[in-house]
Each structure stands twice: as C-alpha cells, then as structure tokens.
Amino acid sequence: MAILSDVDIKKYLDENKIEIYPIKDEKQIQPSSVDLRLGDEFKGFKIITKPYIDPYDNTDLESYMDSFKVKEGEPFIIHPGEFTLATTYETVKLPADIVARVEGRSSMGRLGVTMHVTAGYIDPGFEGKITLEISNIGKMPVALYPGQRVCQIVFETMTTPSAKPYGHEDRDSKYMGQTGPQVSKIKQDFDIKEEKN
C-alpha cells in the first residue's frame, strides 16, 4: 500500500475517483492528506442510572445520548474528561481500491483534544460523512466551532480492489451513507445477532 501525495490527491479528486464535498479551499489539501472540517451536529451521553452499556441489550443505544445542533458562529465546548460524537462537514466517497484513515490535526492534539478513539479507519467503498469520536484529555475546556478544520484524512492505495467493498450487498455496512453523527450499531453485528438467536 502507498499513501497518496498531494499531487495524487488532486488528480484523484479531479477524476472523481475520490470525492470530498464540499471543499471550501484548496488549502485543505496538505502534502499527504486533506483537512476536514467539523459539522454542526453533536451527540453526548446522558447521565443515566443504568450501570453499563450492554451490546446484547435490545435497548436502543440512541436513548443513551442527547442530540443537539450548534448554531452558526457559536462554539461547542468540550470539557475535560468529556466524550462526544460529532461529524465532518464534508462527505467522503471512496472507490473499491482506496482505504483512508482519519487522524487528528496536531493543532487540536496540542490542546488535548482527540478526534477519534479507535474508529479512524475508513473502508474502501464507504460514502458519507465521517463520525468523529471527540475526547478532551486535557485540563481545560476547549471551544470547537463548526466549520473549523479539526482532522485530516489520509488515503492509501490497495494492491487490488476489494471484492466486497463497504456498501456491497453481502457486507454488513451499518454506517453507509451517514449524514450526521451515528451512535454505535454494535447490536447489529453478525456475531451478536447470532448469539441472541
């Protein structure tokens, strides 16, 4: 696998092999990545009396979270120790022979804010906005503004196209086409479904 340079990223974007829309400014294209902006939708965990989240429980995980939208020009404040789901402003579409990774920008990391917990990998064939798993591991609250560049996406070519890319009818593509932050759909995992039957 090889990481795409800015030259190849521009070429793939021009040829619509990779789609990222809308890109506000060509300055978003970095030497080997594209900066993505923060959307205006967030989800945060409620304070609940349940002792833990159980993926085998049929309770809707959506009920554990509050959803809210930040008004234009206003910040979302993430406090130390908090975790929230957000989304990229841009929609991304990958072909069957490109994978991608979302990484936090170093400018955000230096404030103590991480952009993903573990789910920074994007499968070939994916299309949609990217859900960000934002945590503040610092000691001060941090203001995040919709439209702000908060992460970057890195593209890698595969040795061959995937036979069953994300979105394929035989694949369990739970997050395909997402337009906002999505809660975990772990209860739809085939191994958990089989265990419950």
pLDDT tens by residue, 41-85 = 999 888 777 788 777 776 767 777 889 899 989 999 999 999 999
Domains in the chain, CATH or no CATH each: 2-46+61-178 (2.70.40.10)
156 is catalytic: no
Q: What is the pLDDT of residue 33?
A: 97
What's the average model confidence in pLDDT over 105-111? 93
Catalytic residue among 15, 26, 127, 133: 133
Find out whether 86 and 153 touch, Cβ atoms under 8 Å: no
- A 10 A CB-CB count for 95 gives 18
Cα separation, 162 vs 8, in Å, equals 20
pLDDT tens by residue, 7-47 = 999 999 999 999 999 998 889 999 999 999 999 999 988 87
Residue 182 has pLDDT above 60, yes or no: yes
